[in-house]
Amino acid sequence: MSTSTRLLLTLPDAYGMRAAPERSALALLDATLAVAEHTLYAEHPTLDELYKEPCTRPPPTLLIAHLLVRRSAELRELLVSYERAIRDALGEKSFYDGDLPF
């Protein structure tokens, strides 16, 4: 994980809000998950090296942080898929390829 990350939160326009009001809440959830991941990496810089030494027993906080980051990444992928499905259903085009356009 890099030492700094830029986070841009773009909310849907009025039409997008009327057509799929959950989009704003999901955009905020995505941003919150990104901040949580970044914070966990800052607190546990060895997070990516957790299983490189299988004989050592990691502290519970490191193990739980690892699980949280993995689940957060999975949830963020689902958010991207959900946003794509909404755009497809509404016939919208994406401005950001591979990124949430919230």
25-65 pLDDT, tens digit each: 999 999 999 999 999 999 999 888 877 777 678 889 999 99
- pTM of the prediction? 0.77
Sign of the alpha-carbon dihedral angle for 23, 79, 28, 3 = negative
In this model, does residue 17 exceed pLDDT 60? Answer: yes
Mean pLDDT over the full length of the chain:
84
- Give a yes or no: residue 54 inside a domain: yes
- Give a yes or no: residue 96 inside a domain: no
- Give a yes or no: residue 59 inside a domain: yes
- Give a yes or no: residue 28 inside a domain: yes
**pLDDT given for residue 12 in this prediction:** 81
At a CB cut-off of 8 Å and minimum separation 6, what does 83 contact?
23, 26, 100, 101, 102
- Give a yes or no: residue 23 inside a domain: yes
- Give a yes or no: residue 58 inside a domain: yes
- Give a yes or no: residue 1 inside a domain: no
Domains held by the chain: number: 1
Range of the domain at 56: 14-90
